[in-house]
């Protein structure tokens, strides 16, 4: 149980284009999903917290107009990187929290590797 999927698993795009990444909880409902980013040789950094039906909360230094997050249902959150640039190339990983539970164990998706040329 507690499986999270991401699509696509990898994407290559040209500078200036937008890329959408989907995160789905397959066998549970997630009121809260999180988006992380990991650059090579570094750890995961929280980008934003996404709550179903409300606006995402962004961490300091993350541009909300560049990284658009939509959490339209209890099983789907999307991250759109708008006007992507090479410095946005990274490993983007989402996680989902099991709704109704007290403990904050997060289940991670397999990640999406974005390369911006």
Binding residues for other proteins, rule: CB under 8 A, are 32, 34, 36, 42-46, 49, 51, 59, 91, 93, 95, 97, 101-111, 113
Please tell me the distance from the alpha carbon of residue 99 to that of residue 61, in angstroms, as a whole number.
28
Joined tokens for residue 22: 């989907």
19/36 with CB nearer other proteins: 36
Taking the least distance from each CB to other proteins, the nearer of 16 and 39 is 39
User: Whose Cβ is closer to other proteins: residue 32's or residue 75's?
Assistant: 32
Task: Kindly state the smallest distance separating residue 109's Cβ from other proteins, in Å.
Answer: 6
Cβ neighbours around 51 below 10 Å, total: 16
The residues, any chain, with a CB within 8 Å of residue 63's CB and separated by 6 or more, are: none
């Amino acid at each position: 149980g507690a499986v999270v999927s991401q699509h696509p698993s990898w994407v290559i795009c040209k500078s200036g284009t937008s890329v959408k990444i989907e995160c789905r909880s397959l066998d549970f409902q997630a009121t809260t999903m999180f988006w992380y980013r990991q650059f090579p040789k570094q750890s995961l950094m929280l980008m934003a917290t996404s709550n179903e039906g409300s606006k995402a909360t962004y961490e300091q230094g993350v541009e909300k107009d560049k990284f658009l997050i939509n959490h339209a249902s209890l099983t789907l959150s999307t991250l759109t990187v708008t006007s992507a640039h090479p410095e946005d190339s990274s490993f983007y990983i989402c996680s989902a929290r099991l709704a109704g539970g007290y403990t904050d164990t997060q289940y991670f998706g397999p990640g999406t590797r974005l390369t911006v040329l």
